[in-house]
Amino acid sequence: MYFQKKRCIAMLLAGGQGSRLKVLTEKTAKPAVPFGGKYRIIDFPLSNCVNSGIDTVGILTQYQPLELNEYIGNGQPWGLNKTHSCAQVLPPYERHDKKSGWYKGTANAIYQNIDFVDRFNPDYVVVLSGDHIYKMDYAAMMHYHEEHNASCTIAVRNVPLEEASRFGILNTNPDNSIYEFEEKPAKPKSTNASMGIYCFSWPVLREALLADEEDPNSSNDFGKNIIPNLLNAGHKLMAYPFDGYWKDVGTIDSLWEANMDLLGKDPAFKLWGDERSKISARNSAMPSSYIDTNAKIRNSFVAEGCEVYGKITHSIISVGCTVGEDAVVEDSVVMPGVVIEPGAIVRHAILGENSRICRNAVVGGAFAPGEKKQISVTAKGAVLEANAVLRPGDML
């Protein structure tokens, strides 16, 4: 079989369990978690790839892969199903030399798929996470990498100094070259936080992966092992400053916040975009949404296939949901297929796919300005009985 040489391919790490998303990822891999009414988290890095001219994407899966595999399918929604393009799902597998099995870490996941990367003989490999919400032109990052003749370029964003100790911090020279990497430093020297987005020259990464695999003490992780090892070996590593919107949606709070960031006349993160910044998703064949005479919808997104009879304020309503008469939904993320029965009240909540809030049940509560918001969550398919109460911060 003939494989076209590629200048750059992407490897998308989508195997994480996402345990901090709790009930939302009990049966779903984190990248397959719904976002923004009609998307899933993985649509963002995948669409970024396509918008950046990257047409070959390896997707490393491990945890609860069924739904994610189905969703990616042949890559058609992103235009990755052509003769010389692909969205290839790469699950762990058994190898003759036993250097295989479950992916031990992010670096090991790529190590086990060196053969896949080699087929395309790429100059550069972009390594991405499947749990970030942002729009980014990886081609611009690749040009920066090339221009600086770097071995590895890491996207960084400026974070407030008081929060810097929660991140992997890259200490840089004035020319943005990196001289030190510190994972969650107690006393951060800079505010350049790694975004977990890497551009490697493939020969350098390939060699580093082989060396890392030989080290029995390694945890086979990009942040903990590969990056420090490259620095120690004297490779040129560059920081690529990014000042657009970016959010790690690994927790209930951050997932809720990122959804809320879509709202408003001038939102923190704009879903709308031109052809070069469009986010694509697999579409469901649902009719348009019906908005009833008694419905009131303010500052909210409502996707297709919904029937709205109640009142929705400052919320995201995903495809195929029903909001019954006199129901109230405020400051909430309602995932696909949810039914909110008449009279139910939902505030500050994330309602998992196909969950049902029965008549007059109450989910979550209101918070005073400045008060720490506690988000209530329902699991996929959960049912909150009629008149029942799910308190602020509770899960069902």
Partner 1 sequence: MNVMGIIFTNDATLGELTNKRTMASIPFGGRYRHVDFALSNLCAAGVRHVGILSRHSYQSLINHIGDGEEWGLELEEGGLEFLTPYAMSTSHVYRGKLESLNNAMDFLEYGGDDELVVMIDSAVLSNIDLTHVLNSHVASGKDITVVTKAGVANGSKLLDLAIKLDENGEVADMLVDYAAPADYLASMDIFVVNKMWLIKNVQEMIARDKFHMDRDLVLGGWQRGKVSVNVYQFAGLAMYNESIEEYFSNSLSLLEKDVRQDLFYYNHPIYTKVRDRVPTYYGEDAEVENCLVADGCIIDGEVEDSILFRQVTVHEDAEVEHCVVMNDAVIGKGAELKYVILDKNVTVTPGAKLIGTRKNPIIVKRGETV
For residues 341 and 328, the answer to whether their CB atoms sit within 8 Å is no
Verify binding: residue 278, partner 1, rule CB under 8 A.
yes
Query: Helix or strand or coil: residue 177?
Result: strand
Write down the least CB distance from residue 335 to partner 1, Å. Answer: 13
For residues 4 and 120, the answer to whether their CB atoms sit within 8 Å is yes
Q: Considering beta carbons, is residue 180 or 307 the nearer one to partner 1?
A: 307
The span of 220-228, 300-308, 333-341, 351-359 binding partner 1 (CB under 8 A) equals 300-308
Verify binding: residue 287, partner 1, rule CB under 8 A.
yes
Write down the least CB distance from residue 320 to partner 1, Å. Answer: 11
Amino acid present at 140: A
Beta carbons within 8 Å of 24's beta carbon, 6+ residues apart? 18, 33, 252, 255, 350, 352, 377, 379, 380
Write down the least CB distance from residue 256 to partner 1, Å. Answer: 17
Write down the least CB distance from residue 47 to partner 1, Å. Answer: 9
Tell me the per-residue interface mask from 86 to 125 with partner 1, x by CB under 8 A, - otherwise. Answer: ----------------------------------------
- Alpha-carbon span 221 to 108, nearest angstrom: 7
Residue 241: how many other CB atoms lie within 10 Å: 12
Within 30-49, the residues that bind partner 1 by CB under 8 A are 36-38
Q: Considering beta carbons, is residue 186 or 285 the nearer one to partner 1?
A: 285
Q: How many residues bind partner 1 (CB under 8 A)?
A: 37
The span of 89-97, 146-154, 294-302, 335-343 binding partner 1 (CB under 8 A) equals 294-302
- Alpha-carbon span 250 to 12, nearest angstrom: 16
- Alpha-carbon span 289 to 277, nearest angstrom: 25
- Alpha-carbon span 239 to 276, nearest angstrom: 24
Verify binding: residue 291, partner 1, rule CB under 8 A.
yes
Tell me the per-residue interface mask from 239 to 268 with partner 1, x by CB under 8 A, - otherwise. Answer: --------------------------x---
Q: Considering beta carbons, is residue 96 or 265 the nearer one to partner 1?
A: 265
Using CB under 8 A, pick the residue from 272, 368, 371, 372 that binds partner 1. Answer: 272
Verify binding: residue 281, partner 1, rule CB under 8 A.
yes
Q: Considering beta carbons, is residue 103 or 301 the nearer one to partner 1?
A: 301
Contacts 24+ apart (CB under 8 A), 229-237: 230/151, 230/152, 230/204, 231/178, 231/179, 231/180, 231/181, 235/151, 235/152, 235/204, 236/148, 236/149, 236/150, 236/151, 236/177, 237/150, 237/151, 237/152, 237/153, 237/154, 237/177, 237/178
Verify binding: residue 83, partner 1, rule CB under 8 A.
no
Write down the least CB distance from residue 76 to partner 1, Å. Answer: 8
Verify binding: residue 276, partner 1, rule CB under 8 A.
no
Using CB under 8 A, pick the residue from 300, 322, 354, 378 that binds partner 1. Answer: 300
- Alpha-carbon span 384 to 349, nearest angstrom: 13
Positions in the binding site for partner 1 (CB under 8 A)? 36-38, 76-77, 265, 271-272, 278-281, 283, 285-295, 297-304, 307, 312, 316-318
